Amino acid sequence: MHTPSATPSAPRSQTPSATPTGIQPAPRTKERAIQRYEQYLHALGREDITTACEVAGPGAKKAEDKGFGPCTSTYVAVFQMISPTQKKALQKATVDPQRVVVRTPSKIDMPLEAVRSSVTFSESDLGGYTLEYLKNDWFITGSA
């Protein structure tokens, strides 16, 4: 006997995906780049090494190629350099879209001045970063 409840679930499991992994590409927009950078800042504040290394992966790989350790060990040191007050501020930090520099449709600079938080950061504390659209999302690839 056929049950009607089985029919609606079949099409959902067979929905074609836009990428082989089934993950939809993120929008190639300034707003998405800001969202990704805010994810990174919040991850720093929470000491969330998985998210920090995911967003900063390409930039961390470049550093590793220059002799620094892998991202996971490098960020353990980074977390230790951030004060508890700074970590708390980073968890709620936002980015001022008017201070973000769109260099190309695939490359955006997030200068230190764009970070809005309850604590002031210096270039040596945080610095500015360049994000590039790679592999269907925005990633930190270097310093701005």
In the chain, the amino acid numbered 115 is V
Q: What is the mean pLDDT of residues 96-115?
A: 97
CATH class of the domain comprising 26-143: alpha beta
Predicted local distance difference test score (pLDDT) of residue 22: 60
The answer to whether 42 touches 93, Cβ cutoff 8 Å, is yes
Output the pLDDT for position 16: 41
What is the C-alpha separation between 89 and 56, in angstroms, rounded?
20
Which residue from 63, 50, 74, 49 is spatially nearest to 129, judged by alpha carbons? 63
- Digit-coded pLDDT (tens) for 3-54: 444 444 444 444 443 444 567 899 999 999 999 999 999 999 999 999 999 9
3-state secondary structure of 9: helix
DSSP string, 67-100: T---HHHHHHHHHHHS-HHHHHHHTT-EE-GGG-
pLDDT of res. 46: 97
pLDDT value of residue 74 = 87
* Residue 142: its H or E element: strand 137-143
> Residue ranges of the domains in the chain?
26-143
* pLDDT (tens digit per residue) in 46-86: 999 999 999 998 988 888 888 888 998 888 888 999 999 99
CB 79 within 8 A of CB 44: yes
Tell me the mean pLDDT in the region 112-130.
Answer: 93
Mean pLDDT of 82-92: 96
Rounded mean pLDDT, 119-136 = 92
> Using an 8 Å Cβ cutoff, are 112 and 123 in contact?
yes
pLDDT value, residue 15:
41
